[in-house]
Structure 1
Amino acid sequence: MSDWLFDLGNSRFKFAPLRSDGRAGDVQAWAHGVQAMSADIAAALPSGGTAWVASVAAPALTADVIAHLRERFTHVRIARTLAECAGVRVAYAQPEKFGVDRFLALLGARALGSVLVAGVGTALTVDLMDADGLHRGGRISASPTTMREALHQRAAQLPASGGDYAEFANDTADALASGCDGAAVALIERSLQQASLDLAPVRLLLHGGGAPALLPLLPGAEHHPSLVLDGLAVWAAHHPTAAD
């Protein structure tokens, strides 16, 4: 029976088969509700031998997803952040406080040398890892999407979405898109600039649902949409008998 990889984020649910070469296969991504999975999504879940799961979603939604997976898989294994795994060493003094999605993204990038990994989802996370696998630390901010939603909540006349990036926009929707995307780009560029003072060269890797919008604004950035799932595959290879 086949094994599958599942990444449950704050706004999207991604999954892929675990290939025989130890990497994630074709990725499917669905939006989800904050507290529960829709019946249509639950009915379309795959089945197989072992489900490897990483989640940063709300506890109620995580429990709901795991319950559905237990009905479809012989085993359900939950990935957790560790101080050290597969050559990656986490900078946090309390590794359990380092988000498992950030941890797995570093595992997925371990073979790529010195990297700055930017995850663009509900949050914008930026993490630096050197060629020896030492995590040098990182940053967390709101993503452009979350910035737009927060502004709309405080000022309903400001649209929560829409608009195109421009260096100096002449329309409110464009100005919002430019400001929020630009803020994310500036944080990433600042992080890359500082990283390059100590480590050279540093590869910039982007992943997450909001990454495609930022790629044209970050020359040289590499898009790795399955980075967290690739890292989950690495975690699975190093923990084949992990507890359910």
Structure 2
Amino acid sequence: MSAWLFDLGNTRLKCAPLRADGSIGDAIALPHREEDVAAAMAQHLPARIDVAYLASVAQPTLRVAVLDALASRCGRISIARTQPRFDELRIAYADPRKLGVDRFLALLGTRTRVRGPALVCGVGTALTIDLVDADGLHLGGRIAPSPTLMREALHARAPQLPEVGGVYEYFASDTEDALASGCEGAGVALIEHSIAAATARLGTAPTVLLHGGGSEALARHLPNATEVATLVLEGLARWACVETAA
């Protein structure tokens, strides 16, 4: 049986084949625009897929475009949802629907990699931070604008401030570097503060995992963090295997 995993975010669509042993194959990123996604799938995916597993936090129109493209080549489409309990993982939110499925799946992916406490940081449109203890209890999290969104918002309000560019410095001597340093530094500081708070609460430092399109920029300033680009897909693979077995 051929099965594929699809992680549809606000800025990109990542996909990977699901292997028979529950691991994922090589992940690829496809064009994200509604008008391009069907052609991209035709170019990069098999003509027929038995089952597609989709996790989406994108706007409804884009999600529909992806579902339409999948429907033309898939025998079955299964959409992942946040669940209050899954294996050892227990979600802190009283209403699990409020926890984005990407955060839920990143926590699942983390549990396959880390048996101790972990701080899971997603760097996409938003910067999300979630803490899970050694027993799989989600202790809650934080949401802030990502460095990329900060730059976009500043540029939208003050067009003279460039949207991209600059080098990280502690004390920058030009505008581009100051913007890069301030926005990336805000993300780094929030993660470092969360690490300190998690360590104080748990009595031990958590393993720190970074994922998402903007994680590389922050990882350079967080030497004890590990980048896992496929963390959401790994969680989706775990969800898919349990869903199939059920």
TM value normalised by structure 2: 0.94
Instruction: Report what 1:88 is aligned to.
Output: 89
Instruction: Report what 1:115 is aligned to.
Output: 118
Instruction: Report what 2:4 is aligned to.
Output: 4
Q: Runs of 5+ in structure 2 lacking a partner? A: none
Instruction: Report what 2:49 is aligned to.
Output: 48
Instruction: Report what 2:183 is aligned to.
Output: 180
In structure 2, the CA distance between the partners of 1:65 and 1:241, relative to structure 1 (3 Å rule), is: farther
C-alpha distance in 2 between matches for 1:166 and 1:19: 43
State how many pairs are aligned.
Answer: 241
Q: Runs of 5+ in structure 1 lacking a partner? A: none
Structural RMSD (CA) = 1.4
Instruction: Report what 1:26 is aligned to.
Output: 26
Residues 53-112 of structure 1: CA distance to partner in whole angstroms, max 9, x if unpaired?
000000111011011101111111000000001211000000011100000000000140
Instruction: Report what 2:136 is aligned to.
Output: 133
Aligned counterparts, 1:1-244, within 5 A: 1-33=1-33, 36-46=35-45, 47-111=48-112, 112=114, 113-199=116-202, 200-240=204-244
Deviates more, 1:190-199 or 1:19-28: 19-28
Q: Structure 1 counterpart of 2:163, which letter?
A: A
Tell whether the 8 Å contact from 1:124 to 1:141 is kept in structure 2 after alignment: yes
What is the Cα deviation at residue 42 of structure 1?
3.7
Residues 141-166 of structure 1: CA distance to partner in whole angstroms, max 9, x if unpaired?
10000000000000000000011111
Partner of 1:21: helix, strand, or coil? coil
Runs of 4+ displaced beyond 3 Å: 35-40
Q: Structure 2 counterpart of 1:203, which letter?
A: T
Residues 201-223 of structure 1: CA distance to partner in whole angstroms, max 9, x if unpaired?
31000000000111110111011
Tell whether the 8 Å contact from 2:38 to 2:69 is kept in structure 1 after alignment: no
Q: Structure 2 counterpart of 1:185, which letter?
A: V
Q: Structure 2 counterpart of 1:26, which letter?
A: D
C-alpha distance in 2 between matches for 1:150 and 1:44: 34
C-alpha distance in 2 between matches for 1:56 and 1:6: 11
Identical aligned residues as a percent: 56
C-alpha distance in 2 between matches for 1:49 and 1:39: 17
C-alpha distance in 1 between matches for 2:39 and 2:169: 39
